[in-house]
């Protein structure tokens, strides 16, 4: 049985998640740690729990979700995974950071790619990759079917959806992704978004103003 620990990092208040098994394997999802203290907080949790980080995984590659990638790749000696359709965002990360008055140094390189319906293993549990373009071209969600939760990145939020005014975004594509690939999941599935607080698929089907 896998567990999830959330950290809120950087000026964008981005949610970074550690998905882990007690004293076992761990994945870091959307490593947005942007300061030495934020990196330290994440590393201390890993060490205190006796975890072994096996990879870094991104739901998408906007700057607020990849600030900590290069540091953590070096600290844990692991590879970084994302969808190939988001390579353009990695290449533009330094420029995008400047647009927000931030610095982005040490642009990371993507090591491995995943596609829709690929399976990421973590111990004896799995996360299924669900491609949900719209917020970005390569946006994905990570579905833990047995544990009944899904990491939705910036695709779906509590009573909201991801913005589509950035390069690669498209509103109609986003809503189609949510309707066809997320709202078909069981109502009890817990939604762990890239910003803000948790919700459920059922709650969003019932009351999200963008989806009714």
pLDDT, tens digit (0-9, with 9 covering 90-100), for 127-172: 999 999 999 999 999 999 999 999 999 999 999 999 999 989 999 9
24's torsion region: left (phi>0), alpha (psi -120 to 50) or beta? beta
Q: Check: CB of residue 39 under 8 Å from CB of residue 159.
A: no
Is the domain 3-207 a CATH 3.40.800.10 member? Answer: no
- Per-residue pLDDT band at 101 (split at 50, 70, 90): confident
Q: If you compute the radius of gyration of the chain from its CA atoms, what whole number of angstroms results?
A: 16
Measure the CA angle with vertex 154, ends 108 and 141; round to 5°: 85
Verdict on whether the full-model pTM lies above 0.95: yes
Q: Please tell me the predicted confidence (pLDDT) of residue 94.
A: 86
Nearest to 180 by CA among 145, 134, 115, 149: 134
Nearest to 35 by CA among 66, 69, 9: 9
Q: Check: CB of residue 16 under 8 Å from CB of residue 31.
A: yes
Domain boundaries along the sequence of the chain: 3-207
């Amino acid at each position: 049985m896998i567990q999830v620990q959330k950290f809120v990092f950087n000026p964008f208040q981005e949610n970074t998640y550690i998905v882990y098994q007690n004293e076992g394997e761990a994945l870091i999802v959307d490593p947005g740690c942007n300061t030495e203290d934020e990196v330290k907080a994440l590393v201390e949790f890993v060490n205190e729990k006796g975890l072994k980080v096996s990879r870094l995984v991104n739901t998408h590659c906007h700057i607020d979700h990849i600030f900590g990638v290069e540091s953590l790749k070096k600290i844990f000696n692991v590879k970084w995974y994302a969808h190939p359709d988001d390579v353009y965002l990695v290449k533009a990360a330094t420029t995008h950071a400047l647009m927000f008055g931030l610095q982005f140094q040490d642009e990371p390189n993507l090591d491995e790619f995943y596609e829709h319906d690929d399976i990421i293993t973590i111990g004896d549990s799995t996360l299924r990759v669900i491609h949900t373009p719209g917020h970005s071209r390569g946006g994905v969600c990570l579905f833990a079917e047995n544990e009944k939760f899904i990491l939705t990145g910036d695709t779906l939020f509590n009573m909201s959806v991801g913005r589509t005014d950035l390069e690669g975004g498209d509103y109609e594509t986003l809503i189609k992704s949510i309707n066809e690939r997320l709202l078909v999941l069981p109502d009890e599935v817990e939604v762990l978004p890239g910003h803000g607080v948790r919700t459920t698929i059922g709650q969003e089907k019932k009351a999200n103003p963008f989806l009714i």
